Amino acid sequence: MNFSCLAIRVLTLQGLCSPRLGCLRFKTSKFRAPAPLSLTLAETTASPSCPKARPNCCACNKTNKMPIQAKIGPSILNADLANLAAESQKLLDNGADYLHLDVMDGAFVPNLTFGHPMVKCLRNHIKEAFFETHMMVQNPEQWITPMADAGVNLYTFHVEPVKDVCSVTRKIQEAGMKVGLAIKPGTEVKEIEKYIDVADLVLVMTVEPGFGGQSFMADMMPKVEWLRNNYPNLDIEVDGGVGPKTIDCCAKAGANWIVSGTAVVGSADQRQVIGEMRNVVKSYLK
Q: Beta-carbon neighbour count of residue 170 at 10 Å?
A: 24
Whether 152 and 145 have beta carbons less than 8 Å apart is answered as no
Smallest gap from residue 63 Cβ to ligand 5RP (A): 29
Min CB(119)–ligand 5RP separation in Å? 15
Catalytic: 269? no
102 is known as an active-site residue: yes
In the window 238-277, what residues touch ligand 5RP (CB under 6 A)? 239-242, 259-263
Residues 132-191 that bind ligand 5RP (CB under 6 A): 134
* Under rule CB under 6 A, residue 113 binds ligand 5RP: no
**Stretch binding ligand 5RP (CB under 6 A), from 72-80, 163-171, 184-192, 193-201:** 72-80
Torsion, Cα 212 228 223 235, to 10 degrees, reads: 30
CB of 68 to ligand 5RP, least distance (A): 21
Candidate list 97, 102, 197, 235, residue with the active-site label: 102
Residue 69: CB atoms within 10 A of its CB come to 13
d(CA 188, CA 228) in angstroms, rounded, equals: 15
How far are the Cα atoms of 70, 149, 184, 267 from residue 251, in angstroms, in the given order? 9, 33, 19, 21
Which among 226, 240, 237 is positioned nearest to 190, based on CA atoms? Answer: 226
Q: Choose the stretch contacting ligand 5RP; rule: CB under 6 A; options: 36-44, 146-154, 158-166, 202-210.
A: 202-210
- Residues annotated as catalytic are 102, 239
